[in-house]
Each structure stands twice: as C-alpha cells, then as structure tokens.
Chain A
Amino acid sequence: QQQVKQSPQSLIVQKGGISIINCAYENTAFDYFPWYQQFPGKGPALLIAIRPDVSEKKEGRFTISFNKSAKQFSLHIMDSQPGDSATYFCAASRSAAGNKLTFGGGTRVLVKP
C-alpha cells in the first residue's frame, strides 16, 4: 500500500525556472514531512523538512508548502540550477513510531542550461 503518492515522475525545467513537486499522504497520523535529494550513485540527503503546525517553510531556494486539510505537501525549487538536476523524494513519518520514513516514488528533475 503506497501511503505517500508523489507527482510528477519526471520534470524538465529551464535554468532560472521554478520546479514544483507534489505529494499526497493517506495516514493522518503522519506528523513529520522531509524532502530528500538523491544524485546518481549517492544516498538520499535531507533538503528540508516540515511539521504540520506550519503551512510553509523556506530554506534558501527551497520551499515546502503544507496543506493539512488536503493531506498534501509540495516542494518548490526557485531559480532552478543545472546542479539541482537530481531525483527528489518526499517522505513522511509518525513521531509515535520513531523516524521510520515512508517515501514517495520520486521525481527526476532535469534543469536545462
């Protein structure tokens, strides 16, 4: 059972553009929502994370928007750069169950120069 659904599967954006990736979750007990970036041959690296008590969090060019009632959250990459070309994963976990992450299927982002 896929508890975190991620879209789109792939995305092409021009340098300087905005990349938007969306995720939807089913389990209302989830209370921690991180985004990971993965380059080929590497393990995932945490980009940014949010908890449901805030609707938006920004770190540099990366912003998470969170809609608790819709059970959706999204990652916006502003001023996309070729170095941002990677696979991005959303994830979710429950504090009562420790930090056992449930991942989305991933979005492959290609930033064209």
Chain B
Amino acid sequence: ETGVTQSPTHLIKTRGQQVTLRCSSQSGHNTVSWYQQALGQGPQFIFQYYREEENGRGNFPPRFSGLQFPNYSSELNVNALELDDSALYLCASSYGGTQETQYFGPGTRLLVL
C-alpha cells in the first residue's frame, strides 16, 4: 500500500505567476483535501474533492482551484500568485466523504518572491 505523495517538494515562483501542485492519494482512497500551512501556523482547509466533485471549500479566493482525476489523484492550481501564498501545501486523502482518518502527504513548499 503506497502512501500519499506530492510533487514537487519545493517550488519558487514570482508574484503574478501561476502554479500547479500535484497529489497522488493513498491506494483505495477516493477523497482528497488540500490545506495551506503558513510558517508556524496550523493547516487551513482550502477545498476537498470527493469522487471528482468539489465537496466543500474553505475561505480561499477563486484563484485557488482544483481538480480530481478518475484515478483520484488531484491538482491544486493557484493563479496570480501573491507573496502571502508562500506556505506549505498539504494534500490529505481518505476513504469516503465522512469523518474517516485523513492521511497527509509530505507537502509542497512554495515560495513566492
């Protein structure tokens, strides 16, 4: 059984650019959630995908968007990057849209200059 993987591990972008982060969920999981973790803070919920449909969104602007593919892998896209977008982006997978254990990946560290 493979765990949650994310790519890339690190990324440097400049303001105004666009970025795509990728996540492969754990085998057998059909739900993916994305979180943003600023330095020294707890993760904040961005959005969740369940069986390829968005299943809830946190307090993030529309320039944060996502996709889930038939194999349940997922992408997080951020347009018009701002300095405050610099953070660790975490992907978590689980089975079902209910309160099942979420398994987190190691994250992608994004730095916006």
Contacts and interface: CB of A to CB of B under 8 A. Distances in A.
Given A43-B4, A49-B101, A99-B94, 5 more contacts: A95-B98, A97-B56, A98-B55, A100-B56, A101-B43
B72 to A, nearest CB: 15
B25 to A, nearest CB: 13
B86 interface: no
Contacts of A45: 104
B98 A99 contact: yes
B43 A46 contact: no
Q: Chain B: interface residue count, which band? A: 20 to 34
Nearest to B91: A43
Contacts of A41: 106
A25 B24 CA distance: 32
Interface string B33-44: 101000011111
Contact of B102 (A4, A46, A102): A46
A100 B33 contact: yes
B106 A101 contact: no
A34 B104 CA distance: 13
Interface stretch (A13-21, A59-67, A70-78, A103-111): A103-111
Interface of A: 4, 6, 31-32, 34, 36, 41-46, 49, 89, 91, 93, 95, 97-106
Contacts of B92: 43
Contacts of A4: 42
A5 to B, nearest CB: 11
In the complex, the 10 A-B pairs of residues with the closest C-beta atoms, listed nearest first: A43-B104, A103-B42, A32-B99, A98-B97, A99-B99, A44-B104, A100-B45, A43-B106, A103-B43, A105-B42
B87 to A, nearest CB: 13
Nearest to A1: B59
A91 B9 CA distance: 25
A98 B106 contact: no
A101 B45 contact: yes
B45 A102 contact: yes
